[in-house]
Amino acid sequence: MFIEFSIPRIQCLLCQVIRQVKVAFADVRRTYSRAFERYALELSRHMTISDVARHLGVGWDRIKDIQKRYLLKRFSRPNLKKLKQIAIDEISIGKGHRYLTVVLDLATGAVVFVGSGKGSDALIPFWKRLKRCNANIEAVAIDMSPAYIKAVTHNLSDSIIVFDHFHVVKLFNDRLAEFRRSLQGQMENKENAQFLKGTRWLLLKNPDNLNPDKNERQRLEKALEINKPLAAAYYMKEEMRQLWKQPSKWHAANFLNAWILKAKASSIVLMLLSFSDAFLIPTGIFFTEFHGGASCGLLCLPRGLATL
């Protein structure tokens, strides 16, 4: 059902400005009512834009506009005052090395800020808004970027810096890939060297995700058997993954200390040193907090990470 009528215009006798009369059931410069907007949004929960437009007999751009207005109204200026734990990361969009810097609320998963570009400069507007809100940020999850570490240290001096599971394991995987290439070049048996060359992704893959149809577990076991230093590095990586499964801060600290001692005594200490040097911060190495379990899984330390 549609209502079609002309909205009256009035002229102010003082300033001579001509305006439309406000309509109680519709927003300014919109050709649909608020009830129509609510109905379209409710349908959008269960249908695609094209299906909603077809059902309501309007163009898909009309439904797109309704959704966009709703999202801007709901999420364009989120309240930062209640933020406690946040995560900062960058994403690549399109081609040409275009980046956005995204800030998430770890409690809800909501995006609370999107900055243009990457690095600390992209976060300047966020720090200003956060300061005006007087938010009490307990922890900030970031990667091992020196720019992010410096920005968080400067703007949130009392907050705990958090290096999450993904970035720590990714860094170890990068060093493991370099180590495999180095060992491959040193091998005298060319057949074994060629076999090792084809195992890169097997070494980086989660053991639970190995494909039995492609004999990936057997191929991985053979690669580890023909090169003991590579096997040592691989098992150190898999053991490190258990850190995020520890039930408490005390257990995690003891586990990490034991891992470091084992790394120092291993035959691959130089490879492990290159891993630790990537995020060595000279202000101290000790735990302050640890949130275990799948709900968070974050390793939190003040101004530093565990190193060898």
List pLDDT tens digits, range 107-144.
888 888 988 888 889 999 999 989 988 888 998 988 87
Q: Give the start-end residues of each E strand in 94-212.
A: 98-105, 111-116, 139-142, 160-164
Please give, one letter per residue, the 3-state secondary structure of 37-99: HHHHHHHHCCCCHHHHHHHHCCCHHHHHHHHHHHHHHHHCCCCCCCCCEEEEEEEEECCCCEE
On the 0-12 / 13-18 / 19+ scale of CB atoms within 10 A, 124 is exposed
The pLDDT confidence band at residue 281, using thresholds 50, 70 and 90, is very low
Count other Cβ atoms within 10 Å, centred on residue 131. Answer: 12
Is the per-residue pLDDT at 286 higher than 90?
A: no
More reliable by pLDDT, 56 or 276:
56
- Of all residues in the chain, what percent carry a pLDDT higher than 70? 85
Return the higher-pLDDT residue of 70 and 31. Answer: 70
Specify the pLDDT at position 306: 34
Q: What does the pLDDT average to over 196-210? A: 81
Question: How far apart are alpha carbons 41 and 47 in whole angstroms?
Answer: 10
Query: Residue 108 gets which letter from DSSP?
Result: T
Task: Pick the more confident residue, 196 or 216.
Answer: 216
Q: Average pLDDT for residues 23-29, to the nearest whole number?
A: 74
Task: Name residue 108's beta-bridge partners.
Answer: none
Place of tokens 């939190």: 300
Residue 88: is its pLDDT beyond 70?
yes
Q: How far apart are the first and last CA of the chain?
A: 72
Residue 8: φ, ψ to 5°: -60, 150
If pLDDT is split at 50, 70 and 90, which confidence band does 213 have? confident
pLDDT(269) > 70: no
Q: Band the pLDDT of 284: cuts 50, 70, 90.
A: very low
| Res 289: pLDDT | 36
Cα–Cα distance list, 276 to 48, 168, 267, 269 (Å): 48, 10, 16, 10
pLDDT of 123 reads 92
Q: Give the integer Cα–Cα distance in Å for 164 and 241.
A: 11
Query: Order of strands, edge to edge, in the sheet holding 160-164?
Result: 111-116, 98-105, 85-93, 139-142, 160-164, 298-301, 289-291
Lookup result for tokens 């970035």: 167
Residues 252-262 have pLDDT tens digits of 888 888 887 88
* 208 has pLDDT over 70: yes
- Give the whole-angstrom CA distance, residue 7 versus residue 292: 60
pLDDT reported for residue 149: 86
Mean pLDDT, all residues of the chain:
79
Mean local confidence (pLDDT), 27-42: 82
pLDDT at 21 over 60: yes
- Beta bridge mates, 100: 91, 116
Q: Tell whether the model's pLDDT for residue 285 goes beyond 80.
A: no
Query: Comparing C-alpha atoms, which of 56, 59, 104 is closest to residue 83?
Result: 104
Q: What is the mean pLDDT of residues 5-29?
A: 80
Is the per-residue pLDDT at 283 higher than 90? no
- Three-class SS state of 184: helix
User: What are 115's two structure tokens?
Assistant: 């900055």
Q: Kindly state the tokens that stand for 262.
A: 């084992």
Confidence (pLDDT) at 277: 58
